[in-house]
Structure 1
Amino acid sequence: MAGAREIIGVGEERSVEGEGLSSETEHSSRRRESSSSKSPETATPGEDSERPDRDSPAASFQRESNREWTQPEAMASQEASLNPEIEAGNGHGGNQTCPVHTPSAGDAKRGFRKNRQNDYVKISMKEPDANRLPSEWWKTMLLFFYAAFSLVMTTVVITVVHERVPPKENIPPLPDTFFEYIDRVKWAFTVTEVNGIVLVTIWFIQLFFLNYKSIVCRRYFFLVGTLYFYRCITMYITILPVPGMHMSCAPKLYGDSYAKFQRILRLISGAGLSITKSHIMCGDFLFSGHTVMLTLTYLFIKEYSPRSFWWYHLMCWLLSAVGVVCILVAHEHYSVDVVVAYFITTRLFWWYHTMANTQCQCCPNKYLSSAWWNPLFNLMERNVHTPVPCVYGWPVSWAPACLKNPCKKYSIVQSTRDE
């Protein structure tokens, strides 16, 4: 009897441990009863051959989904759907609810739990600013006056330097290697000025159709003003004799201030060109202003036009290069004037645009921002957070909106009446 009681006790303990498996045993017994109750006569021929294996996952899934649930099982599934913590504890460990997937009532009715989890990771992306390239035309006008002031100061300095140029009879031209090999061509300097006029005209036409013309204009005005400001300094501190005996300089005025003022106005009105007969003074040699305009204009044309326009770039480069060479062929400037002008113009252009495109944030020491004009640069480029794209469009609408289709409203009313 003692042995029996021990066996019974063990059975009780086992029954307590296996209490959680009673539902699975009941399910399996009911499936065996339903399968045994099926008579052999009702089975169709070939059913055993076409029916999938009972132990296969597909067959068990089909039998599980097609069978009818009893009332206790339906209540158990409803409780499981109302208490997702139980399901989450079984699948994820502990009593914590899974934040990704919670079994729905439809999954409980089908009798299986979803193992597939929708793991979506939300990545926060920084939205672009609404306007990263503001126009700010007031800055453009400020730089326009800066460039105009530099040009006026250049004419004043030329007038002052002209009074200090030594006469060519006393001090002959300095030796120049280029002049020793190339004889002077009289009409070459006219070609230079015509090429310069054509190149500047092309640039302003291109600028007219550029969408971000305000930013590009103030960059152009700033570089023109700065380069001519440098030119004022170099002309004044070092006065070179005339580069050739062919040059004819206007007589010196000495202390006549009114006549000097008239020469300044004449030089400004003629844009400082020889073909307009406005440039009659000497002394503006170091460095060449014509080389500055030809080189700078070509650099802007190439920078703010599509890279695929190679033929356009080539044509503008030829205009610029031929104009620079003709300066030397005409013996209007020393070779050093042209070389220094090219060097200063290109380096200042590349320097400025490197700072504008990077804003010098990646430079730990910020050597590029050590220039004297850095405060003015910060004022101009403070709100420009990206390189200026080469986007073009029509600057104005060719017809007002009310004149584009005046009969449109009438046609709509007429079609409504016809219907």
Structure 2
Amino acid sequence: MDEVLILDDKEHSKVGKISGVVGGGGTGGSLGGVTGAGGSILHPHQQSIERSENVRLLVSFVYFISCGTVCAYSVAFANDRMRLTDAPLRDLVFEVTSPQYWALSAAEVILIVQGALTLVMASMHKNALKIFRRFFFNFGTVYLLRAVCLFCTTLSFPGGDMECEHSSSYAQHIDNFLKIFFSAGISLLSNSKGYCGNYFFSGHTITITLEYLVIQDYTPKACYVLRKLSTVASFSAAVFLIISRGHYTIDVLAAYYVTTRLWWNYHAIALNQSLRNNNPRQFAPSKELWYPMIVYLEENSGHSPEINELCSSKLPMCSFFSHR
């Protein structure tokens, strides 16, 4: 007996397999769709949705790269404006702790390891394209806000072990910009500690917070240990950034606040179709500049949050991090 699963147009495609013969006595008949991987049949309309989802992912990625480029240039710009003669700002944590210069490298190790784990977990998710699309948009938007702050205000040197090398020529300025862009501002990857002035707000904290949010929101409750480890690691990295004198406390707090507010506002819109279709004036996020882009990116999303199915007994990594 023929069996076809037809899905709601607003959700990701999951098309059932056809078991049996369609019409006549032939084998392997078709219903006018396109056969996908594993023998599944894609409805023509569902094919259109899949193509539009890929386009939206590309748009979010281009947006992410563009915002990252602007932010990298703003870091190079702030570095050249930095004056080492200015006294550090008063910071309560600085007053009760001594500089721990090793802590910056420790924070970056946490950032890199947690980032690799986040990438693996997101790639294994049944809605990986949605996760990457949302990650790219949120990352790009927060980095664009950071770029504006760095262009406008340069805080004084907090007293870390950075070398703060100013550009002596335009060519060196461009070279610094390229190094910052391709290393994502991570000193361990650029093998350089020559960039200062990019304090408010912390780019390291933005990245760590987004990694944390992806793990918390897109891994199932079975991965209890993984969630707790991510919480401890993220908090530790934030503390390390401050005690290393890589950032002021206000840099880290502001980065966490801005990143989490944008992420939660985005998902409030993404997971509530009525908020996207009706555009209620009393709904505060609808007044934000990026609201139209969120509506575009999440046009095909449904009402309910995506349930992660990556953790199972067949996956040793998730079994290792599961709570028993």
Does structure 2 conserve the Cα–Cα contact (< 8 Å) formed by 1:272 and 1:279?
no
Does structure 2 conserve the Cα–Cα contact (< 8 Å) formed by 1:212 and 1:388?
no
Q: Aligned pair in 2 of structure 1 residues 341, 324: CA closer, same or farther (>3 Å)?
A: same
State the aligned residue count.
264
Give, as a single letter, the amino acid of the residue that structure 2 aligns with 1:309: C
Identity %: 27
Give, as a single letter, the amino acid of the residue that structure 1 aligns with 2:64: A
Q: Distance in 1 between matches of 2:237 and 2:132?
A: 23
Does structure 1 conserve the Cα–Cα contact (< 8 Å) formed by 2:10 and 2:300?
no
Deviation, 1:252, is 3.4
- Of 59, 73, 76, the residue aligned with 1:142 is 59
Report SS of the residue matched to 2:271: helix
- Of 232, 235, 252, the residue aligned with 1:338 is 252
Report SS of the residue matched to 1:262: helix
Deviation, 1:173, is 0.9
Q: Distance in 2 between matches of 1:131 and 1:154?
A: 35
Q: Distance in 2 between matches of 1:377 and 1:300?
A: 18
Unaligned runs of 5+ in 1: 1-126, 395-419
Give, as a single letter, the amino acid of the residue that structure 2 aligns with 1:150: C
Q: Distance in 2 between matches of 1:171 and 1:146?
A: 36
Aligned to 1:195: 110
Please list, as runs of the form range in 1=range in 2, the aligned pairs for 1:203-352 lying within 5 A after superposition: 203-244=118-159, 246-253=161-168, 256-276=169-189, 277-352=191-266
Q: Distance in 2 between matches of 1:236 and 1:244?
A: 21
- The more displaced of 365-374 and 339-348 is 365-374
Does structure 2 conserve the Cα–Cα contact (< 8 Å) formed by 1:185 and 1:329?
yes
Give, as a single letter, the amino acid of the residue that structure 1 aligns with 2:210: L
Q: Distance in 2 between matches of 1:159 and 1:325?
A: 25
**C-alpha RMSD of the superposition:** 2.0
Larger Rg: 1
Deviation, 1:280, is 1.6
1:129 paired to 2:42:
no
Aligned to 1:382: 299
- Deviations 1:75-108, CA, capped at 9 Å, x for gaps: xxxxxxxxxxxxxxxxxxxxxxxxxxxxxxxxxx
Give, as a single letter, the amino acid of the residue that structure 2 aligns with 1:346: T
Deviation, 1:350, is 0.8
Please list, as runs of the form range in 1=range in 2, the aligned pairs for 1:19-34 lying within 5 A after superposition: none
- TM-score under structure 1 length normalisation: 0.60
Q: Aligned pair in 2 of structure 1 residues 328, 139: CA closer, same or farther (>3 Å)?
A: same
Please list, as runs of the form range in 1=range in 2, the aligned pairs for 1:69-108 lying within 5 A after superposition: none
Aligned to 1:52: none
Q: Distance in 2 between matches of 1:273 and 1:310?
A: 29
Taking CA–CA contacts closer than 8 Å with sequence separation of 6 or more, which of the two structures ends up with the larger relative contact order? 2
Deviation, 1:187, is 0.8
Does structure 2 conserve the Cα–Cα contact (< 8 Å) formed by 1:210 and 1:390?
no
Deviation, 1:270, is 2.4
Q: Distance in 1 between matches of 2:75 and 2:159?
A: 18
Q: Distance in 2 between matches of 1:128 and 1:333?
A: 49
Q: Distance in 1 between matches of 2:108 and 2:217?
A: 23
Please list, as runs of the form range in 1=range in 2, the aligned pairs for 1:33-72 lying within 5 A after superposition: none
Deviation, 1:279, is 4.7
Does structure 2 conserve the Cα–Cα contact (< 8 Å) formed by 1:285 and 1:334?
yes
Deviation, 1:278, is 3.8
Does structure 1 conserve the Cα–Cα contact (< 8 Å) formed by 2:76 and 2:180?
no
